[in-house]
Amino acid sequence: MQDVLRHWTPELAERLGEVYRDLHRHPELSLREHRTADRVAAALGPLGCEVATGIGGTGVVAVLRNGDGPVVMLRADMDALPVAEETGLPYASTARGVDESGAEVPVMHACGHDMHVACLLGALETLARGRAAWSGTVLAVFQPAEELVRGAQDMIDDGLFERFPRPEVVLGQHVAPLPAGTVGYGEGPVMAAGDSVQVTLFGRGGHGARPEDTVDPVVMAAAVVMRLQGIVAREVPHHEKVVLTVGRLHAGHKDNVIPDTAELGIGVRSFDPAVRDRVRAAVERVVRAEAAASGADREPAFAWKTGAPVLVSDPRATAVTAEAFRGRFGADRVVRLPSLAASEDVGRYGEALGVPTVFWFWGGAGPGAFAEAAAEGRLPPFNHSPRFAPVLEPTLTTGVQALTVAALTWLAAP
């Protein structure tokens, strides 16, 4: 392993750091990662990989063959978020983009996918330079549209595992507000299933001065938002993990006009399929009841979108990989984490093939920022925050080495 890791040099770290800064400065929304995909493909060219673009839309796949042995998949996601950056970094994004609804929005790598891409490029180059120390095939997948929880399935549907070698294990990682230089892992369910529903409430609009002539969907929506909070508090057993969030509420265009409709975007995160079904049914029951209580003339409309399944990090494969991390980083830098209510679609790859998935987190928060936040009983700016910005080092080096160590754990000796 050391024979391979010595190829991660200061020169390579500096070059990949510039790639990271470039990606951070030029983020792209889900399904629009064209420049990012071109940048990735160009970086892969000199490594002796077979490179294919346009997989599942804008996905990039690289195959690094090195004789007989296992096929190991490494995955990074590429898309950014509709967030206005507030980090103050010299390479901060000022980009704008057009979202799914056609609206112009600010764009930022607020979830660290730019770091994911840079680390996978670094791991591939490190492995390519150290070919003499391992045998097998590395399948590197640069995935679009993770934030829409569809990119993995899009790539699978586009023949990912028919057109390229079928892996025996899927390895992935995510940067998080842990202390930079640390690695965190969990065994079994590590991230929640994610579902969302777009709800339309139908009222009867009119003049704001004569509410008695209307059925006000704004008041109806407010009642729905408050009543939904009782589902988790009063209907879900205390030992189950469920998060229910109303992340979007829109109604009307003018303060003296009561609109005809109100729209809500509701997200549900859960770990147990039976609880998931119960919460989904409760959401519809509450919304319908509040509409009826408000005197709505028409039933609410529901558009459910099933997102990611529960992400399961295979216990046996995770234990093997975590032991390799301890061997590289030391036991004090490898920590066990509780499950997260956030969602990820990387599990679809292993699920489609019936092979283990191993997924871990690594830290991107500077020690000063983390200590200051911890003293105040909070975390540093979390993923999806306009202030989320991993420190470049040791985040980049740790991420590259973690992917490289994990890959070598499952590849064969020469």
CB 161 within 8 A of CB 170: no
CA–CA separation, 78 and 142 (whole Å): 7
The residue written with tokens 């990119």 in the block is 151
CA–CA separation, 76 and 159 (whole Å): 18
- Which is the catalytic residue, given 79, 125, 216, 272? 79
Q: Considering only CA atoms, which of 243, 82, 54 is closest in space to residue 143? A: 54
Q: Mark 243-274 as b/e (b = at least 16 C-beta within 10 Å).
A: ebebeebebbeeeeebbbbbbbbbbbbbbbee
Q: What is the DSSP string of 318-329?
A: HHHHHHHHHHHH
- Residue 303's contacts (CB-CB under 8 Å, 6 or more residues apart) are 197, 198, 199
Active-site annotation holds for 154: no
CA–CA separation, 112 and 388 (whole Å): 8
CB 217 within 8 A of CB 201: yes
Residue 253 marked as a ligand binder:
no
Strands 193-202, 261-270: pairing is: antiparallel
The residue written with tokens 């999806």 in the block is 384
Active-site annotation holds for 146: yes
Amino acid symbol at 225: V
Residue 7 marked as a ligand binder:
no
Q: Considering only CA atoms, which of 212, 326, 199, 335 is closest in space to residue 266? A: 199
The encoded tokens of residue 48 equal 């002796």
**Separation of first and last alpha carbons in the chain:** 12
The encoded tokens of residue 378 equal 């909070």
Residue 111 marked as a ligand binder:
yes
The encoded tokens of residue 261 equal 């409709």
The CA-atom distances, in angstroms, between 349 and each of 157, 168, 354, 408 are: 11, 11, 8, 20
CB 171 within 8 A of CB 72: yes
In eight-state DSSP terms, residue 165 is P
The residue written with tokens 């003499």 in the block is 132
The CA-atom distances, in angstroms, between 397 and each of 41, 43, 370 are: 21, 18, 19
**Which residues belong to the annotated binding site?**
111, 113, 147, 174, 384
Active-site residues: which are they?
Answer: 79, 146
Binding site membership for Mn(2+): which residues? 111, 113, 147, 174, 384
